[in-house]
Amino acid sequence: MGVLQTETVRLVEMPFTLEGKTAIVTGSGRGIGRAIAKRLVSAGACVMLNDLDEKMLLESKEALADPQRVSFIKGDLTDPLVPGQIVDATLDAFKSIDIIVNNAGYSWDNVIQKTTDEQFGAMLEIHLVTPFRLLRAASQYIRTAAKQEIASGQRIMRKVVNITSISGTDGNAGQVGYSAGKAGVIGLTKTLAKEWGRYNVNVNAVGFGLIETRLVQPLNAEGASMEMHGHQIRLGVQPSLLESIKSACPLGRLGTPEEAAGAVLFFCSPLSDYVTGEVLICGGGLHF
């Protein structure tokens, strides 16, 4: 029995460590973002959390394995000043930026004839413009640090992981804004991979299918709405549609936030040091 237990522990040990690394994870107050932060802290990284909801940020910090290596900054990423504030807060707290995970987002869905300019623009703003602004804000530190490291003969890899969706790769009826924003993330990812390769930065994207979060809970479930910039936005999916999606998915179920975070962790780790400009789909085999 003792031999079996030892072997089991050996199998789950990580083949890498993120000790000495600092990550920024946006949208990390709950759900997938919190699960990503937890994975990174467990692997040894320090993490700067960001979200709109300070209460959820506090809960995230306390839920992580080592809250001493976690800090947070509340802020609306769609405010043009906030991405720079996140970068400055991270450097003040941890002195480096090694990993950026652009995870923040939400869905505000409708068919095209019912989608307003404001609604369409909001989806582009949160899913495409805010990752661009955060990466631009971090670029000065990343380029300067990389040049110094290269000059001294060091190769230190940094990581950017942008979150896209199968709605962005395949399109999805009723999500014209969301799909457009998530498709744009792929272009941002592939372009920055070409620009930042010389700085030893891997830039990749993870595209999620349906993951068990409040965005895909049964429609009209308790708490299935959110307030954003004066609008009350319904969250969730019709129960009958959820069941049909599960049936269409080769794995026959929705994914968990922890499983989603595992795909992101790969791109944050040394295991992906020679992978850049790629999109990894974490969707249980589902395609729309």
Annotated catalytic sites, by residue?
Answer: 178
Cα–Cα separations (whole angstroms), residue 92 to 148, 177, 190: 20, 36, 30
State the alpha helices, DSSP H only, in the chain: 2-12, 31-42, 54-63, 82-94, 117-124, 130-151, 166-170, 176-196, 239-248, 257-268
Say which amino acid occupies 212. E
DSSP string spanning 245-278? HHHHSTTSSPBPHHHHHHHHHHHHSGGGTT--S-
Residues contacting 38, CB < 8 A, separation 6+: 63, 64, 65, 261
Q: Are strands 158-165 and 99-102 parallel, antiparallel or unpaired?
A: parallel
